[in-house]
Structures are given as C-alpha cells and as structure tokens.
C-alpha cells in the first residue's frame, strides 16, 4: 500500500512569550489550513490564519501540545517542537496541596481535563451559567446546556466538576436556590486569576510578541461588563423566550417591535428593533394586576452590553421583579438605596453627593450609577430616579439604563453587582492602516498579578 502524500504544512510549537505554560502554534505552507483545522479541534484557539494558542486553566498545555504533535505527525504534517517547549514537556511537576492525594498523576490529569471541558463549554457559549453562590471556600453554580440539559457545578478552575444533572433548567435552578438561599447571585462568578490569565494568553494585545510579521486580525478580550460589546438584542430575546416557556413572545405586524409577556400578565417587556445605540431599545414594566396601573418601568438603550441585559432578564425570571415597594408616596428609603448600591460600595466605587443627586462612579470615571432623590419622591414625575451608565460621562453615555422610583431594590442590586464585578467580551476589529488612529482609551481589566500562576511544585 502506498504512503499517503505529505501535507504541505509545517507547525512550529513553542512556549508562550509571556505565560509559562501556554503554547503557541505557528503554521506555514500552502496547506496550512489543514493543520490549522486539526490544531483547533485539539485545544488550540485561532488567533490568525497562521497563529494559534493553547491556554488551559489546568496548566497542562505542554502535555496536550505533545499529544497534538503526535497526532499531526501521524497525519503527515511536519511538526517542530522548540527546545524550550521540549523542556516544559519533559519537566516533571506536581500540584501543590492537591485536595485529592489518593489520585495518581494520570488521574489528576483526567480530572483537570474534565474541568477544562466545562470551562470551554462556558467560554464558547455551549453552557450558560444562570447563577452562582459561595459555598464555604469555593464557588458553586447552576447552568444550562444548549441541548436542554442543566447541571450543578462545584469548584473552580481545574477542580470544577458536575455534581448533578437535570432534565430542565427550572428543576436545576429550583434545587440550587433551595440549597444556597440568599447566597445566590445571578450569572457566572467573576473570572478567576487562571481564567483571566488564559484569556490574556489568547489575546495578542496583552501578549506582545505573540504574533510576528502577520496581518492584524480582529481580537476578542475580556473587559468589565459595562465595557463589553452591545447585546444582540434580538438573539438574546429569542433565546430567553425559547428557554422560558412562562414568557410569551409576539411581534407587531411590521416586525419592528417584539413583546415579551409573563404568563401572569403583570411583567412585560418591549424591544424596538429599529432603536439606535443611544435610543431606548427596551422598555420593561411591572403591574400589580393585568389591568392595574404600571408600578415601575425601566428602559435600556441599544448599545447596552449583553451581560447587563442577561442579568436583567434573569432577575425578571427569578422573582426579583416582584419585590416592589409601593408603600405610599415615598417609595424609596435610605435602606432601599443602600441595598441597591451595596455592590458598588463593596467594589470601592467613588460615592459623591451633589444636591439631589447621589452618585457612584468607577475610579476611572468611565461608568456610574446616579440616584435622583427629588425624582424618587415624586413617582408621578416622568424623570427617572435611577440612571446606570458607561462612557465619557453621564451626559454623554455610550449606553444608559433608566429606572423609575418603584423599581425593586433587588433587581437594581443585581445590575449593580454586574457593573461592579461582572465581565464580558469586547471584539476589536483589525486596524485600518488607512484610517486615523483613535486616541480614546477604553476600560479593561487590570493586568494579572503574580509571577507564577500555576500553583505547582517542580
């Protein structure tokens, strides 16, 4: 039998210029797309047509890179492993204070690979985390797979595991909330150091020298939630309606507006598909009864980032929208304001008082929350009492959320929690060398701390 022809592709595997365990693959040759595709299914993330990065939360990249090299060699693709990476592959190390001392090295690798798969499912959107909580010294979470099943998760990084599986999201969420009560917070937990460092390793902007002599490509980076890409409002609405049968979706005859109505008929949302980035795209409202006057309402502009829209929808669905203060003409008390803004205080946001306005802003001044005490004491006034925003300033926001006085403090707290601690992704297009460069600085996560994030002993 004749030998298959060699693929005209060469893969060079090397250590990452800034991250001790990550691996960079550089692909050349007329058939480099073949090698590119095989590397992608073996754990490498494409950065450009020629460059891929493997960055794992279990820091086992050298082992899996060698496995990939053997697979590609068997496919008649030429692979070169640099001396630096070869040394990392041959290096014998063990986890410091590993919590399962009865496991051998292969068992540990198997456990961490299962945790890596969960992380990849979350990162690529196959597993959506609905809520999380702190359980002692670790984090637990509940999430739903796109195929319909739901899971409870325990632990973080290389120790995260599935503890229970459910057929429906409702069953999983109910069990999770029953067990963890007031500790439950909407959405995923803040990214860990290992997750941030893996994300940084995949980002050419944060890893100088990662790509050499290549055309620039669009990049995706992790940023604070308030600086993330605007939501694809139509897709988010459709996904929410498909996953939550108690909400009915219907559109106007012209298809320029879509409505979401809870089965109780007392919670309603409206999406204007034609709204611009600074126009009110969403309007949310709550009513005491289906035929009563509106109790509270909230609007959201078209450029609002997806994490905040997801947090709001999750809060509407898990009951935070029902705890509405309706006790007379003064619905907002000092206790209400404190509850709504506690996450901002905990995160060290700057608090100022200017007459009727109470404000909380990031240290950089690129996002904030403002409470209008005068408007809050006049609930019939059309002026919003709460404004959440990000951008150059509250008078020139990139996006804004406006809420009326009776808006539940728990719902506002969920949003401010996301503002203070949440993260999202932002895609930066490839630079146009024929266009003028922007000089506006954008908010981003602080650089990772610590010289050696692996937590391992040699």
Position with higher pLDDT, 112 vs 323: 112
pLDDT value of position 428: 72
- Classified as helix, coil or strand, 111 is helix
Write out pLDDT tens, residues 118-174: 999 999 889 999 999 999 889 999 999 987 899 999 999 999 999 999 999 999 999
Q: How far apart are CA 393 and CA 159, in angstroms?
A: 41
pLDDT value of position 383: 67
Let me know if 157 is exposed, middle or buried by CB neighbors in 10 A (0-12, 13-18, 19+).
Answer: buried
pLDDT above 90 covers a percentage of the chain that reads 50
Would you state the structure tokens that stand for residue 258, as one six-digit string?
């879509």
Least confident of 15-19, 145-149, 315-319, 447-451: 447-451
Is the pLDDT assigned to residue 93 strictly greater than 70?
Answer: yes
Mean pLDDT of the chain: 84
Is the pLDDT assigned to residue 452 strictly greater than 50?
Answer: no
Is the pLDDT assigned to residue 78 strictly greater than 80?
Answer: yes
pLDDT value of position 293: 83
Position with higher pLDDT, 332 vs 91: 91
User: Which ranges of 207-303 would DSSP assign to H, the alpha helix?
Assistant: 233-243
Short-list 151, 58, 42, CA closest to 112 = 58
* Confidence category of residue 252, pLDDT binned at 50, 70, 90: confident
Is the pLDDT assigned to residue 17 strictly greater than 80?
Answer: yes
Best-predicted range by mean pLDDT (36-40, 89-93, 94-98): 36-40
Is the pLDDT assigned to residue 229 strictly greater than 80?
Answer: yes
Averaged pLDDT, 43-64:
92
What is the number of alpha carbons within 13 Å of residue 309 lying toward its C-beta?
27
Averaged pLDDT, 208-227:
68
* Confidence category of residue 91, pLDDT binned at 50, 70, 90: confident
Averaged pLDDT, 182-203:
90
Averaged pLDDT, 364-388:
83
Residues 6+ apart with CB under 8 A from 174: none
In the chain, the domains with their CATH numbers are 10-93 (3.30.70), 105-194 (no CATH), 233-424 (no CATH)
Q: Do residues 364 and 391 lie in contact, with contact meaning Cβ atoms separated by under 8 Å?
A: no
* Confidence category of residue 431, pLDDT binned at 50, 70, 90: low
pTM reported for the whole predicted model: 0.50
* Confidence category of residue 325, pLDDT binned at 50, 70, 90: low
pLDDT value of position 458: 40
């Amino acid at each position: 039998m004749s030998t298959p022809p060699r693929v005209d592709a060469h893969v060079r595997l090397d250590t990452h210029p800034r991250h001790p365990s990550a691996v960079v693959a550089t692909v050349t040759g007329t058939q480099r797309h073949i090698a590119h595709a095989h590397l992608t299914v073996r754990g490498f993330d494409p950065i450009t047509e020629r460059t891929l990065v493997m960055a794992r939360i279990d820091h086992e990249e050298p082992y899996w890179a060698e496995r990939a090299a053997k697979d590609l060699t068997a496919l008649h693709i030429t692979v070169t492993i640099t001396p630096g990476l070869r040394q990392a592959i041959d290096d014998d190390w063990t986890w410091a204070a590993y919590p399962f001392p009865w496991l051998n090295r292969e068992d540990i690798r198997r456990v961490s690979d299962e945790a890596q798969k969960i992380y990849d499912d979350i990162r690529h959107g196959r597993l959506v985390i609905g809520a999380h909580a702190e359980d002692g010294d670790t984090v637990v979470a509940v999430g739903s797979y796109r195929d319909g099943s739901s899971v409870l998760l325990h632990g973080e990084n290389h120790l995260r595991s599935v503890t229970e599986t459910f057929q429906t999201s409702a069953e999983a969420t109910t069990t999770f909330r029953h067990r963890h009560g007031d500790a439950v917070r909407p959405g995923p937990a803040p990214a860990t150091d290992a997750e941030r460092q893996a994300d940084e390793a995949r980002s050419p902007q944060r890893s100088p020298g990662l790509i050499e002599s290549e055309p620039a490509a669009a990049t995706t980076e992790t940023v604070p939630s308030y600086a993330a890409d605007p939501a694809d409002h139509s897709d988010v609405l459709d996904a929410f309606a498909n996953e939550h049968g108690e909400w009915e979706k219907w559109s106007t005859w012209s298809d320029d507006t879509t409505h979401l109505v809870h089965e109780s008929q007392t919670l309603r949302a409206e999406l204007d598909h034609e709204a611009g980035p600074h126009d009110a795209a969403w309007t949310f409202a709550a009513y005491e009864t289906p035929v009563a006057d509106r109790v509270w309402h909230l609007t959201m502009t078209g450029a609002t980032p997806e994490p905040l829209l997801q947090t709001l929808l999750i809060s509407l669905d898990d009951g935070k929208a029902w705890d509405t203060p309706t006790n007379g003409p003064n619905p907002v008390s000092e206790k209400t304001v404190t509850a709504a803004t506690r996450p901002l205080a905990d995160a060290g946001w700057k608090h100022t008082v200017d007459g009727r306005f109470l404000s909380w802003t990031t240290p950089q001044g690129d996002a904030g929350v403002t409470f209008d005490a005068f408007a809050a004491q006049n609930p019939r006034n059309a002026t919003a009492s709460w404004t959440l925003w990000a951008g150059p300033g509250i008078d020139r926001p990139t996006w804004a959320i406006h809420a009326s006085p009776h808006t539940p403090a728990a719902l506002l707290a969920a949003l401010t929690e996301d503002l203070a601690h949440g993260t999202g992704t932002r895609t930066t297009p490839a630079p146009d060398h024929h266009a003028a460069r922007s000089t506006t600085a954008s908010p981003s996560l602080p650089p990772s701390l610590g010289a050696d994030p692996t937590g391992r002993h040699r």
